[in-house]
Structure 1
Amino acid sequence: MAAPAFDRESVPTPIATHDLMGHAAAEQTLLKAATGGRLHHGWMIGGPPGIGKATLAYRFARFLLTGGAERQEDGLFGAPPPPTSLYVSPENPTARRVAAGAHGDLLTIQRTWDEKRKRFKRDLPVEEVRRIAPFLRLTAAEGGWRIVVVDGADQMNPSGQNAILKILEEPPPRALILLVADNPGALLPTIRSRTRTLMLEPLPTTTVRSLVNRMMPDLEMADAAALTTLSDGSIGRGLDLAAAGGLDLYRVLLGVLDTLPRLDLAAAHALADQVARSGQDTVWETTTDLLLWWLARFNRALARGQAAAEIVEGEAALMERLSFAARRDRALDRWMEVWDNVNRLFAKAEGANLDRKQVMLSALRTIEAAAS
C-alpha cells in the first residue's frame, strides 16, 4: 500500500521554527558565549543536512534580538535568574517579526528559488553575499545586534567566500555572522580560522521517530519506522523523502535489486522509465540518492560482517544473499568501487545532462556485474 502523500510546505521553515530537538549541548555553548560578555563575531554551524542547523542559528538570532543576552536590572526581588536556554516564545513581538522576515536587524542570505525546477538553486550567488557589508555598516535599528544568517554557506563560489572573508577580518561592532554549512571543509581555511566552529551531530533515532510521528501522524507504524531509518539522523531528509514518495520509490528500487544476481530486465527498464520522465527531477534525485544510500549501507554491513536491519520486507534476505557471495569471493573492495562508480555516474549525468534512463540502467548493470 502506498504511503500517504505529504505536503512539505506544511512544515515551518527554520526561521519560523521555535522548537529545537537533539542539540542541547550546542545550544548551551551558544548560550554561554552570549551571556559571557565576549561573543565572537563569526560562528560556523556545521553538520549533515536537515538536522536543525539553520533552526539553531535563527533560535540564537531571536534570543539576541530580544535582548536575551543582556544583563537584566535588579527588580523588587533582586536580579532575575539567568536564561537556561535560547528559547523565545512565538508570541514575542520580536520573534514574530523574525519569523515573518521583517526584522530590520536580521539579514538572511540563502540560495534563490528555481521556479522552473521547483527547488533551491545549488549555488549561493555572490550578489546575495554582497548584501552583507552594507547591511552591517548600518546602525542597528533597535540599538542592539546586527545579525546575518548565511544558510548554505558552503555553496558560495570563490568570489562570495572572499567577500565574506573581508567582513570577518574587520567586523563592525555588535555584528554577528552565522554561517550554516553542511560541509564546512568546502569553505576557505581563512574563513574557518576566523569563525568559531560548532559541529552538530545527526539526530538520535528516537528524536527522528518522534518528529516523524508528530509531523506525519497518518503514517502506519511500519512506514514511520522505515522512514525513520531512511532519514539517517536527519528529519529534513525524512520530510523530503516523504514529500517525494521516497518510501514507495525505495520499495520499487529494492524490488528490482531483489532480482539479483541476474536483474529482471523488464523491472529494471520499468524503474528507469519511471525515474527518467521529463519534469520528474525530484523523483530522479530521490531515487539516485536512495540507491547510493543503500549501496553505502550494504558496504558498511559487509565491512562489519553484520547484517543491516531490514527496512522493507525482503531486504534482509537480499543483503544476506549478496553478503554471502561477497564474503565468499572477498569482494568488499569491489563493492566499494561499485558505490564510487555509481556515484560518479550520477554526478556526471547531472553535469552533462545525460539520458537519465540510460544512466539508471548503467548503474543497475554495474551493480549486477558485482553481484554475478
Structure 2
Amino acid sequence: MADQDLDLQADQLSNAPLPEQTTELFGHSAQLDQLLRAYDAHKLHHAFLIAGPKGIGKSTFAYQVAQQLFAKSGDEPLDRIQEQMRQGSFPNLKVIRRQKNQKTGKFAAQISVNDVREAVKFFQTSAARSGVRICIVDCVDDMNANAANALLKTLEEPPQNAIFLLVTHRVGGVLPTIRSRCNLLPLKPIEDQDVQSVLTQAGVTMAGEELAQILAIAKGRPRKAFEALEVADNPALRALFAWLEAPDQHSETAMLELAAALADPKAEQVWQLAMEMIDSHVAAIAKYLSAQKAPRSVLAKALAVWEKTQTLVAEQAIFNLDKKQTITMVLEHIRMLNQAAMLNEHQTV
C-alpha cells in the first residue's frame, strides 16, 4: 500500500487519525486476544468478517490485528512494523478501499473489480518479508457486484499464508457466499472511558460537562465523538443544547428559529448530530425518571416521546420530508416530556 495517499482517505474526518496510524487499541481487547490465541494454536481461519455499527473502531481493530500477526509470524519487532504501517510501506499488507481519482480529486463511489484484481496480483507475487500476508477490505459494503464476486473467488481458494480481514457496517448486506467463507467476528460499541482514551490519543483533551456531552453523543462510537467535535462550535448545536436544558424558558419563536437553523440543507452533519443529541437527551430523561421511580404514566410518556421522535426522524429520512417541520414536532414532544418530568418532580418533593 505504499502508493496510497495517507494524507486523505475516503470518508476520513479531518480531526481523526487514520486507522493505520494508531498504535494502541482501546476496546475490543477480548476479540483481539481471541484471534491471537487462535494463531498461536495454529487454528486461525483465513478470513474474518469484522462486523458492527459504523464508527466503533472496526478498521482500527483490523490494523491492530495485522500488526500483531505480522510481529508474531515475521522477523521484525512490533514498533518497526507499526512505523512502516504508519508510512503505508509495510510490504506484506494490502488494503482494498475506495480510491481517489487523481484527475478530479474525488473518491470513487465504490470499490471496483480492478481494485480487487490488484490484491489478487499482490498474493501471486513472492512475499517481500517472512510471515503472513494480510489483506484488509475497508469496507466490503463499498464493493460493487463484480468486485464482490472477484473477492469471493479468492476467498474460495485462498493463497497460502494469507489472511483476509473484511470490515462491514451491515453484515446482512454482504453476499451470503462471502459470509459463508468467513468467520464472523462481531464488535460492539466500546466503553465511554475507551472513547475518551481514543480522543486523548488523538490529542483531544476535555473534561466535565463538555466531555460528558461528547460521550453521550458518541455512545461508544469514537468516530461519532470526532464528528461531534468537528462541529462543536456550531451555533445551531449550541442553541439546541441550551434549549434542551430548559425547553420552557424559550419562546415559541426561539424554537422555530432553532428548527430553521438545524434544518439548514447545507449542514447535514449538524442535522445528524442534532438527532444524536436529542436521542441522548430523551434517553437520559427516561433513565432519570426510572431511577426516581416515577409513576407508570410518566414513564409511559417518556417511552412514547422516545418512540415518536425516532419515528419522526426515520420518516424524514425515508420520505425526504421537510426537516424544519420534523424538528419542530420533535422539539414540541420534548417540551411536553420535560413538563411531565417537572410535574413528577414537584409531586415527589
Please say if residues 63 and 88 of structure 1, whose CA atoms lie closer than 8 Å, have aligned partners that are also in contact.
no
d(CA) in 1 for partners of 2:176 and 2:38?
Answer: 23
The equivalent position to 1:191 in structure 2, one of 178, 184, 188, is 178
* Cα distance change of structure 1 residues 332 and 203 upon mapping to structure 2, 3 Å threshold: closer
Please say if residues 52 and 188 of structure 2, whose CA atoms lie closer than 8 Å, have aligned partners that are also in contact.
yes
Aligned-partner SS, 1:31: helix
Q: Aligned-pair distance for 1:208? A: 2.1
Between the two proteins, the alignment pairs up a number of residues equal to: 321
Please say if residues 312 and 330 of structure 2, whose CA atoms lie closer than 8 Å, have aligned partners that are also in contact.
no
Aligned to 1:341: 312
d(CA) in 2 for partners of 1:124 and 1:297?
Answer: 38
The equivalent position to 1:13 in structure 2, one of 7, 18, 28, is 18
Is 1:229 the equivalent of 2:229? no
- Counterpart mapping for 1:310-325 below 5 A: none
Q: Aligned-pair distance for 1:178? A: 0.4
Aligned to 1:4: none
Please say if residues 18 and 88 of structure 1, whose CA atoms lie closer than 8 Å, have aligned partners that are also in contact.
no
Deviations 1:335-366 (A, max 9, x none): 524413322313554xxxxxxxx832021233
Is 1:202 the equivalent of 2:207? no
Q: Aligned-pair distance for 1:11? A: 4.2
Is 1:69 the equivalent of 2:73? yes
Aligned to 1:31: 36
* Cα distance change of structure 1 residues 52 and 335 upon mapping to structure 2, 3 Å threshold: closer
Q: Give the unaligned 5+ runs of structure 2.
A: 1-11, 337-349
* Cα distance change of structure 1 residues 44 and 332 upon mapping to structure 2, 3 Å threshold: same
Please say if residues 62 and 88 of structure 1, whose CA atoms lie closer than 8 Å, have aligned partners that are also in contact.
no
* Cα distance change of structure 1 residues 342 and 269 upon mapping to structure 2, 3 Å threshold: same
Aligned AA (1:147): I
Aligned-partner SS, 1:149: strand
d(CA) in 2 for partners of 1:10 and 1:328?
Answer: 39
TM-score by length of 2: 0.75
TM-score by length of 1: 0.71
Aligned AA (1:42): A
The equivalent position to 1:182 in structure 2, one of 142, 154, 169, is 169
Please say if residues 149 and 179 of structure 1, whose CA atoms lie closer than 8 Å, have aligned partners that are also in contact.
yes
Aligned AA (1:276): D
Deviations 1:89-142 (A, max 9, x none): 43x1x3322221122321111234599xx9977644444334332222222222
* Cα distance change of structure 1 residues 348 and 164 upon mapping to structure 2, 3 Å threshold: farther
Aligned to 2:239: 252
Deviations 1:177-231 (A, max 9, x none): 1001222222122212211111122111222234434545553432122212221
Q: Aligned-pair distance for 1:161? A: 2.4
Could you tell which deviates more after superposition, 258-267 or 94-103? 258-267
Is 1:364 the equivalent of 2:327? yes
Q: Give the unaligned 5+ runs of structure 1.
A: 1-6, 73-86, 309-322, 350-357
Could you tell which deviates more after superposition, 129-138 or 228-237? 129-138
Aligned-partner SS, 1:306: helix
Please say if residues 262 and 274 of structure 2, whose CA atoms lie closer than 8 Å, have aligned partners that are also in contact.
no
- Counterpart mapping for 1:112-131 below 5 A: 112=99, 123-131=110-118
Please say if residues 253 and 291 of structure 1, whose CA atoms lie closer than 8 Å, have aligned partners that are also in contact.
no
d(CA) in 2 for partners of 1:26 and 1:292?
Answer: 28
d(CA) in 2 for partners of 1:253 and 1:169?
Answer: 52
* Cα distance change of structure 1 residues 252 and 369 upon mapping to structure 2, 3 Å threshold: closer
Aligned to 1:79: none
Q: CA RMSD in A?
A: 3.9
d(CA) in 2 for partners of 1:329 and 1:60?
Answer: 45
d(CA) in 2 for partners of 1:225 and 1:333?
Answer: 25
- Counterpart mapping for 1:293-332 below 5 A: 294-295=278-279, 298=282, 302=286, 306=290, 327=298, 332=303
Identity of aligned residues (%): 26
Q: Which has the higher helix share?
A: 2
Deviations 1:27-74 (A, max 9, x none): 1111112222232110111222333221221122223334x136x9xx
Aligned-partner SS, 1:251: helix
* Cα distance change of structure 1 residues 225 and 130 upon mapping to structure 2, 3 Å threshold: same
Aligned to 1:314: none
* Cα distance change of structure 1 residues 327 and 256 upon mapping to structure 2, 3 Å threshold: same
d(CA) in 2 for partners of 1:274 and 1:184?
Answer: 32
d(CA) in 1 for partners of 2:198 and 2:111?
Answer: 29
Please say if residues 342 and 366 of structure 1, whose CA atoms lie closer than 8 Å, have aligned partners that are also in contact.
no
* Cα distance change of structure 1 residues 210 and 171 upon mapping to structure 2, 3 Å threshold: closer
* Cα distance change of structure 1 residues 26 and 325 upon mapping to structure 2, 3 Å threshold: closer
d(CA) in 1 for partners of 2:310 and 2:327?
Answer: 11
* Cα distance change of structure 1 residues 29 and 64 upon mapping to structure 2, 3 Å threshold: same
Aligned AA (2:69): L
Q: Aligned-pair distance for 1:173? A: 1.3
